[in-house]
Amino acid sequence: MAKRNIIDAIIEIVNSPKHRLKQYSSSLNRANDMGSALEDYCKDIFAGTVGETDREKRITKINEVFSYTGNQNNPPDIILKGGDAIEVKKIMSPNATIALNSSYPKCKLYSDSTLITQECKNCDGGNWGEKDMLYIIGVVNGDNLRSLAMVYGDDYCDSKEVYEKIRTAIKTGILSIPDVDFSETNELGRVNKVDHLGITYLRIRGMWHIDNPFKVFDYIYKRNDAHTFDLMVIINQEKIKKLSNFKLLESMEKTNASLKILDKKIQDSRNPAKLKDVKLISYYVK
């Protein structure tokens, strides 16, 4: 099976416009259930299995497409074989922020990150230094997927040094407290032996949040509340050149009035004074 990419996912969405999320999870927490269902939906659009009802065939195809399918506690959620790392996030209202918890926003996924698992580092033979990071944000209403945004970390997030600077400043401040027993962790750190008996410790966690892409890029795209489903995808020109099947999507646009590809400019996430050329791909279902 050929390597799959973001264009394959967009084509699957257009060809299989099914936006009622299945409840794959047995969790009693409905919000978590819908988060798991959204992640499974994203696996399906990349694997081409949205309409696959045979569970064995679906599992086989997903295994062919992804080199890593992650866990709930470490980013990313999934990695395409020889391709992008993907982080899937669910929000319940159109203007909600995205909770990233202890993982700050990522312009790229780096193999030396302390926040990823060894299994993640070993995927694709372990012969990678960095991967493009694709954020997929779904607006979920009940079990219906109302809107979906896809945007790469390069166009959405700042460089890792910006976020690491904050982490370092917090750790440095804690270490300046006299007689503090500080331990490095994958969170911000831990202060040990806080009391005289040395039996209490303080975990210091980051709770990172980021505005959702529909809000960040509302100057080039606005959803239509009358639609039952809206898709917004932003891909910079450098990435477009690497997507050999982009011309297939362009040919689909000519025969599908709901699919649009426009040339736009967005603010550079590292220097907003600069503008970056991108393709804005949108699709809707009335």
Q: Write down the pLDDT at residue 35.
A: 79
Question: Domain limits at 183?
Answer: 165-202
User: Token pair 């297939």 is at which residue?
Assistant: 248
| Distance between CA atoms of residues 70 and 81, nearest Å | 13
Q: Give the angle 63-80-255 at the CA atoms, nearest 5°.
A: 100
Considering the chain, what is the average pLDDT of its residues? 91
Task: Give 207 or 78, the one with higher predicted confidence.
Answer: 78
Task: Give 10 or 186, the one with higher predicted confidence.
Answer: 10
In angstroms, the first-to-last Cα distance of the chain is 33
**Contact call for residues 176 and 206 (beta carbons, < 8 A):** no
| Distance between CA atoms of residues 165 and 200, nearest Å | 28
Of the pLDDT bands very low, low, confident and very high (cuts 50, 70, 90), residue 29 is very low
| Distance between CA atoms of residues 87 and 101, nearest Å | 13
**Contact call for residues 281 and 233 (beta carbons, < 8 A):** yes
Q: Do 177 and 224 share a domain, yes or no?
A: no
Q: Do 64 and 194 share a domain, yes or no?
A: no
Q: Which two tokens stand for residue 87?
A: 């982080």
Q: Do 215 and 280 share a domain, yes or no?
A: yes
Q: Do 180 and 59 share a domain, yes or no?
A: no
Which one-letter amino acid corresponds to residue 104? Y
Q: Do 248 and 275 share a domain, yes or no?
A: yes
Q: Write down the pLDDT at residue 23.
A: 54
Q: Do 137 and 227 share a domain, yes or no?
A: yes
In a domain, 1, yes or no: no
Of the pLDDT bands very low, low, confident and very high (cuts 50, 70, 90), residue 18 is confident
Provide φ and ψ at 41, rounded to 5°. -60, -40
Lowest-confidence segment of 27-36, 212-221, 224-233 by average pLDDT:
27-36
Considering its fold, how many domains does the chain have in total? 2
Q: Write down the pLDDT at residue 32.
A: 54
In a domain, 227, yes or no: yes
Q: Which of 202, 228, 256 is the last residue of a domain?
A: 202
**Contact call for residues 118 and 126 (beta carbons, < 8 A):** no
Cis peptide bond upstream of 94, omega within 30: no
